[in-house]
Amino acid sequence: MTTDSNLDARRHRTVVWVVALATVGLIFDGYDLVVYGTVVSKFLRDASQIGTVTPATAGALGSYALVGVLVGALLAGSVGDILGRRKVMLFSYAWFSFGMGLTAMTTTTTMFGLMRFVTGLGVGALVATTGALVSEYAPKGRKNLCNAITYSGVPLGSLLAAMLAILWLQHVGWRGMFWIGALPFVTLLPLAYFKMPESVAWLVSRGRLDEARAISQQTGVEIPGIMPSAAGGVPPASAGKAGFAGLFVSYLFPTLILGLMSATGLVLVYSLNTWLPELMLRAGFNARGSLSFLLVLNGGAVIGALAGSRVADTFGPKPVVAACFLIGSISISLLTLKVPLGVLLTVVAIVGLGTSGTQTLIYGFVANYYRTNVRGAGVAWCAGFGRLGGVVGPLLGGLLISIGLALDSIFYILAAVGILGVLLTLLVPSARGPRELPSTSIEPSLRAKPGKLASSGIKKS
């Protein structure tokens, strides 16, 4: 009984570390997402910052980071199922930290846009890999919840950016806001190096059984599919081709639909997070008031994603994602009504649930849809191809503002995008076949020698 208790304690501690570190990483992703939206109004009105910035230019600058995210996510999908989750995530923390610091030192629109693209490469690789690692450590029946907690880091980071902009922007300027985004290099990266293990399921799927046993012994996480053969070997946890090759051979239609679904969600996420402060400024609110809407938007996203994930673990993610898209569409339409400020803020919070909150649930949906050896590629596709929607979002907002479209018309167009998301979600077919083999405990004779622990991506504590 004591042994079982110790095993459960180690397993619980490991899951907590993995989810916590992954969440903090995505908090900085969310911060990167919104920090530009908090300073874009300053760029539009003060050419001394990085040069003359028109609404169309501002939309383009907002999209450069998302092009980088797209490229970074797809590159990570190509290597993440081959090199491992841990290596890609550690590299991503370092990369986007440097990118944020270098962005803070730019003086022209050209260099600002270039460094936003460079930063996006690291952010994309991180988003593409995080869901796979968390899904492979999350306990059964809690996978959507663990992914929702993790990906709630994105709206939490967005909320943090809005809050810090309200409190500090006038004191530290836009450069100080970007320097904050470089902090993971000296905080999160060292901690993750010592505390974030490689995925046991991924190691088994690659046939790296000694390392899998070592991490299993250290973390208490069971090895999937431990079924010793006559030769003493263990079959891989996943069959078939790995990475994008396996993804498009075994899951072609659902992968295309999931990519389009993610892209649709990200059109809403990035258009609102980039342009909502400016739209509310044009609606008559002052600078701080307009940033407060961004704060409420992302607060609603966090609460909505966590609540939705509990329902998704019970009824499945597909109907929940479809319902959240519908809620987002309806609530965006309601922004056109003339209502008291308190009611308007409530509606904005519901918009957050139906946009950023929905996107959080989509990542959990995708991470649990695929088998182990294509999971990283599947999440990468969702994050990478989906970022086409992220590229379109800021450009769409800039275009609609540039042509002088009324605020009500802009909101109705975004509401129509939400309806498209509902339809795409309903087209996703049910997942076929097992995503993992059954997990069983490790026999004592199969456990690794202590000396192999350090080479497996987690340090002995």
- The full DSSP string for 155-186 is HHHHHHHHHHHHHHHHHHHHHHHHHHTTGGGT
Q: Mean pLDDT over residues 187-198, rounded?
A: 91
Task: Tell which wins on pLDDT, 212 or 95.
Answer: 95
Helix (H) or strand (E) holding 199: none
pLDDT exceeds cutoff 70 at 265: yes
Task: Tell which wins on pLDDT, 438 or 259.
Answer: 259
Q: Mean pLDDT over residues 170-194, rounded?
A: 92
Per-residue confidence band for 260, with pLDDT thresholds at 50, 70 and 90: very high
pLDDT exceeds cutoff 50 at 71: yes
pLDDT at 451: 43
Which residues face 440 on adjacent strands? 223
What radius of gyration do the chain's Cα atoms show?
22
pLDDT at 433: 52
The domain ranges of the chain are 2-456
Over residues 129-174, the pLDDT tens digits come to 887 788 878 887 777 788 888 888 887 887 788 888 888 888 898 9
Per-residue confidence band for 212, with pLDDT thresholds at 50, 70 and 90: confident
Q: Mean pLDDT over residues 450-460, rounded?
A: 45
CA neighbor of 354 nearest in space, from 425, 257, 287 = 425
Residue 223 DSSP label: E
Over residues 2-53, the pLDDT tens digits come to 566 777 777 788 888 999 999 999 998 889 877 888 888 888 888 888 888 8
Residue 227 DSSP label: -
In the chain, what is the straight-line distance between the N-terminal and C-terminal CA atoms, in Å?
23
Contact by Cβ (8 Å): 159, 33: no
pLDDT exceeds cutoff 80 at 77: no
Q: Which residue has the tokens 């970074």?
A: 72
Per-residue confidence band for 404, with pLDDT thresholds at 50, 70 and 90: confident
pLDDT exceeds cutoff 50 at 235: no
Q: Mean pLDDT over residues 225-251, rounded?
A: 56
CA neighbor of 351 nearest in space, from 396, 264, 432, 411 = 411
Candidate from 13-17, 215-219, 338-342, 354-358 with smallest mean pLDDT: 215-219
Burial 406-431 (b: 16+ CB within 10 A, else e): eeeebbbebbebbebbbebbeebeeb
The pTM of the full predicted model, rounded to 2 decimals, is 0.70
Contacts of 338 (CB under 8 A, 6+ apart): none
pLDDT exceeds cutoff 90 at 75: no
pLDDT at 440: 41
The alpha carbon of 301 is separated from its chain's Cα centroid by a whole number of angstroms, namely 13
pLDDT at 230: 33
**Rounded to whole angstroms, what are the CA distances from 15 to 154, 296, 307, 370, 407?**
19, 30, 20, 20, 45
Cβ atoms < 10 Å from Cβ of 81: 32
| CATH class of domain segment(s) 2-456 | mainly alpha
pLDDT at 184: 93
Tallying the residues shown for the chain, one arrives at 461
Q: Backbone phi, then psi, for 240, in 5-degree steps?
A: 90, 175
Residue type, 225: G
Over residues 276-299, the pLDDT tens digits come to 877 877 777 766 667 788 788 888
pLDDT at 10: 78
CA neighbor of 432 nearest in space, from 257, 282, 254, 203 = 254
pLDDT exceeds cutoff 50 at 114: yes
pLDDT exceeds cutoff 70 at 87: yes
